[in-house]
Amino acid sequence: MLAPRARYNRTMMRQRSSTTENQRVTVIGAGLAGTEAALTLADAGIAVTLCEMRPERRGPAHHTDDFAELVCSNSFKGTDPSTATGELKRELDALGSRLLGIARETAVPAGAALAVDRSEFSKHATEAAQSHKLITVIRGEATDIPDEGRVIIASGPLTSDALSASLSHYIGESRLAFFDAAAPIVDADSLDRSVVFAASRYDKGEGADYLNCPLDQQEYAAFLEALLGAQRVTQKAFERGELFQACQPIEEVARTGPDAIRFGPLKPVGLTDPRTGERPYAVIQLRAENRELTAYNLVGFQTNLTFGEQKRVFSLIPGLGAAEFLRFGVMHRNTFVDAPRLLTGTFALRTEPRIRIAGQLAGTEGYLEAIATGRLTALNTASELLGYEPLLLPRESALGALIAYASDSETKSYQPMHVNWGLVPPLEQRVKGKRDRYAAYGERAYAALCAAVMHHPLLSGGDDGPV
């Protein structure tokens, strides 16, 4: 019978560990993908050199020197396995993900979602990597890819120019770029609690995991006008094709129509303003940043407005008139490779299989997806070193579908992608109703994933499968 979490066959790993000390793997980048990859390899008894450029050099989106820093939202999204993100969590459990476990240890209230205290999460991840006896951490920028030995490049969407140039030696000039955005964070003590109310949509989770700023029709119109007229950091208007769809700046979404954001991040459904007893015309939700509930981020408010304009425009939101901004939203350029032309199904370079790419540099988008690709690239690197067959996941699984999309040479125009049910094959039998259909996708995905991993030597716990 399958259990919810997998672990390594540690007896076998101990027998092999002496031979793998001389087969050290270099992991470049200690973000989500790189940290997960390093821990995965080390837990398998394989020596790792983990290279992280901070604090010697810090990227424009970084705020700390800790590993696995969450630079955008603090949410890992929903946990319902009928959703693709919920199913991916279940699959990561079956694959034994270390960082998903740390996320649960550092969770903060977030309704039906898994959100974390981002500071505690990164601290725990850093400690896990730095204290592992088989992980050697090198603080300093990796400007060149090693000429020999196995390498996992997980340098993220802000890969430095020097490392990008080194990577170009292996992949040519097949690099693409897009723009990404992060939301501002406000001090909880500066919120007007006579206006802001605590509630989750439809009372999901604990029923009051979010703070809500309600707007009536007049307030919404005034906010929209100010948002559309505000000054942006970049004077040249971004081409929409350059902006990753899931991280569109709030002002860019607003430009698509007067109700675009009201039907998007400001949708009021499932909420009642206690002052009126009615559903607001629009609602801006705030999600906790830490366990102490002292800081909140504006959900869906990634932005490219200047800092001064963010203060002016967002202070028009009811309840935020005197808000103290602990961090303003930022915009940054992201880099990823043309994965379908460059990578195999194990994310190895077709031209140089000893090198694998994980995380957002491979073009997968999202925190969970970065962790998942870090885990999978490390498992396959370990499999090679230990003489095992590669771990190839079925396309019916959520992660397998994402990997297939990223490594399918028939993909014409590759763009960053979150895991989603649109990537999986259709069900053999038609299921009516979206809710039931998605639930069926989830059950099929988990069964397919477990069948693929249950006998793999790195994940099996015996004849009964992963434990």
pLDDT along the chain (467 residues), means of 10: 43 44 87 97 96 78 84 89 95 96 95 93 97 96 93 90 89 70 87 95 76 97 97 58 66 94 94 95 93 89 93 97 90 82 94 96 91 98 95 96 89 79 89 91 96 88 36
Q: How far apart are CA 264 and CA 235, in angstroms?
A: 25
How much is the pLDDT for 64? Answer: 83
Distances in whole angstroms, Cα of residue 104 to Cα of each of 94, 97, 116: 15, 11, 8
pTM strictly above 0.75: yes
Q: How far apart are CA 133 and CA 142, in angstroms?
A: 22
On the question of a cis peptide bond just before residue 55, with omega within 30 degrees of 0, the verdict is: yes
How much is the pLDDT for 390? Answer: 95
Which residue reads 């995905």 in tokens? 445
Kindly state the tokens that stand for 433: 């109703």
Kindly state the tokens that stand for 346: 């194990």
Comma-separated ranges of CATH 2.40.30.260 domains in the chain: 184-328
Angle at 94 between CA 93 and CA 100, to 5 degrees: 20
- Determine the residue type at 287: R
Kindly state the tokens that stand for 445: 């995905």
Kindly state the tokens that stand for 437: 């259909």
How much is the pLDDT for 157? Answer: 81
How much is the pLDDT for 5? Answer: 47
How much is the pLDDT for 61? Answer: 64
Comma-separated ranges of CATH 3.50.50.60 domains in the chain: 10-179+333-453
Q: Which fold has domain 184-328?
A: Elongation Factor Tu (Ef-tu); domain 3 (2.40.30)
Distances in whole angstroms, Cα of residue 66 to Cα of each of 29, 32, 46, 125, 323: 11, 11, 23, 8, 28
Question: H or E segment at 115?
Answer: strand 113-116
Q: Given 3.90.1300.10, 3.90.420.10, 3.40.190.10, 3.50.50.60, which CATH number is that of 10-179+333-453?
A: 3.50.50.60
How much is the pLDDT for 245? Answer: 58
How much is the pLDDT for 178? Answer: 66
By CB neighbour count within 10 A (0-12 exposed, 13-18 middle, 19+ buried), where does 177 fall?
A: exposed
